[in-house]
A and B are shown apart, each in its own frame.
Chain A
Amino acid sequence: MSAQQVLFDAPGPKAKRNILIGNIAGALLIVGLLAWLTITLAERGQLEPAKWTPFLEGRTWEFFLLPGLLNTLRAAGVAIVTSVVLGLLLGIGRLSHFLPLRWLAGVVVEFLRAVPVLLMMIFLWLAIGAAGIMRPQDIPFVAVVTALTLYNGSVIAELVRSGVEGLPKGQREAGMAIGMTRNQSLRSIEVPQALTAMLPALISQFVVILKDSALGYIITYTELLQNARRLGVGEGNLLQALLIAAVIFIIINFALSSLANRLSKLLSFRTTGTTKKENVSNVVVADPTNA
Chain B
Amino acid sequence: MDGFLSLFEQYDVAGAFWVNIQLTFFAAIWSLLLGTLLALFRISPIASLQWFGASYVNIFRNTPLTIILAFGVLALFGQLVVSLADDFDLNFFRLAVLGLSLYHAAFVCEAIRSGVNTVPLGQAEAARAIGLSFLPAARLVILPQAFRGAIAPLGNVLIALTKNSTVAAAGSVAESAGLMKTMIEFRSDMVIPIFFTFAMGFVIIVIPIGLLTTWASKKLAVAR
Contact = CB atoms under 8 A, between A and B. Distances in A.
Interface string B72-104: 001100111000000000000000000000000
Interface string A224-257: 0100010010000111001101100110011001
A110 B192 CA distance: 19
Nearest to B188: A130
Contacts of B203: 110-111, 114-115
A5 B125 CA distance: 10
Interface residues of A, number: 64
B67 A249 contact: yes
A137 interface: no
A49 interface: no
Given A218-B169, A242-B74, A6 B79 contact: no
A4 B45 contact: yes
Interface size class of B (residues with CB under 8 A): 35 or more
Contacts of B128: 9
B35 interface: no
Q: Specify the main secondary structure of chain A where it touches its partner.
A: helix
A239 B75 contact: yes
Contacts of A26: 46, 48-49, 52
Interface stretch (B1-9, B26-34, B112-120): B112-120
B71 interface: yes
Given A123-B195, A126-B181, A242-B75, A7 B210 contact: no
A146 to B, nearest CB: 13
Interface string B117-131: 101110110001000
Nearest to A255: B62
Interface string B136-174: 001000100000000011011001000110110110000
Given A5-B121, A110-B207, A254 B62 contact: yes
Given A111-B199, A115-B203, A123-B180, A215 B120 contact: no
B21 interface: no
A249 B199 contact: no
Contact of B211 (A5, A22, A283): A283
A19 B43 contact: no
A214 interface: yes
B61 to A, nearest CB: 8
A11 B42 CA distance: 17
B210 A283 contact: yes
Nearest to A215: B66
B207 A6 contact: no
A77 to B, nearest CB: 16
B37 interface: no
A256 B164 CA distance: 22
A97 interface: no
A44 interface: yes
B117 A1 contact: yes
A96 interface: no
A22 B46 contact: yes
Given A114-B203, A119-B199, A239-B79, A19 B70 contact: no
Given A3-B113, A7-B116, A9-B128, A46 B79 contact: yes
B156 to A, nearest CB: 5
A239 to B, nearest CB: 4
Given A1-B120, A123-B191, A281-B214, A257 B67 contact: no
B214 A253 contact: no
A23 interface: yes
B51, B52, B79 — which one has the most chain A CB atoms within 10 A of its CB?
A: B79
Contacts of A1: 117, 119-121
Contacts of A237: 79
A80 B183 CA distance: 31
B213 interface: yes
B80 A122 contact: no
A116 B176 CA distance: 11
Given A19-B45, A246-B63, A282-B155, A119 B202 contact: yes
Contact of B48 (A5, A27, A46, A130): A27
Nearest to A21: B46
B75 A283 contact: no
> 3 closest pairs, A vs B, by CB?
A283-B210, A214-B64, A253-B62
5 contacts: A3-B116, A46-B80, A229-B70, A249-B64, A286-B214
